[in-house]
Amino acid sequence: MGLVPERKKARFHKKLEAVLLDTYEAIGGIDLAVIDATCAYSGPAARRASDTNLLLVGRDAVAVETVGAVLVGMKPEKMEVIQQAVERGLGEGNLENIEVLGSSIERLKSRFSQL
């Protein structure tokens, strides 16, 4: 959807979650999910940047996305794409059921607190 040859791509955002999940299902999932959070941006038009030096990696893309959401202060249980993925049986969206190796989530959250 990001390669749609049109300037007004925002109109497709309403369908993006369903398209992503349909594609995920159609290809049978993925082997490795990676979130590159080495640098995080926030603020109006993403003008503030922070070097977080973090990569999130896992075999369950929904779990990786859930952990990433929590780190930046979002609530996965309120994120439509995560909830739809869980309903479709595509992965784990409950942080309590996700094993996080390496640094603790609480410790990692501090890297995103200045955003």
Q: Per-residue pLDDT averaged across 91-96, rounded?
A: 96
Judge whether 79 lies within some domain: yes
Query: Averaged over 9-20, what is the pLDDT?
Result: 77
Number of domain units in the chain: 1
Strand-pair partners of 50: 40
pLDDT of 35-92, one tens digit each?
A: 998 887 765 555 666 788 899 999 999 999 999 999 988 999 999 999 999 999 999 9
Compute the distance between CA of residue 86 and CA of residue 75 in angstroms, rounded to an integer.
14
Model confidence, pTM: 0.81
Q: Provide the residue range defining the domain that includes 69.
A: 30-109
In terms of pLDDT, which residue wins out, 9 or 81?
A: 81
| Residue 67 within a domain | yes
Residue 80 belongs to a domain: yes
Question: In this structure, is residue 46 part of a structural domain?
Answer: yes
In a domain, 88, yes or no: yes
If pLDDT is split at 50, 70 and 90, which confidence band does 1 have? very low
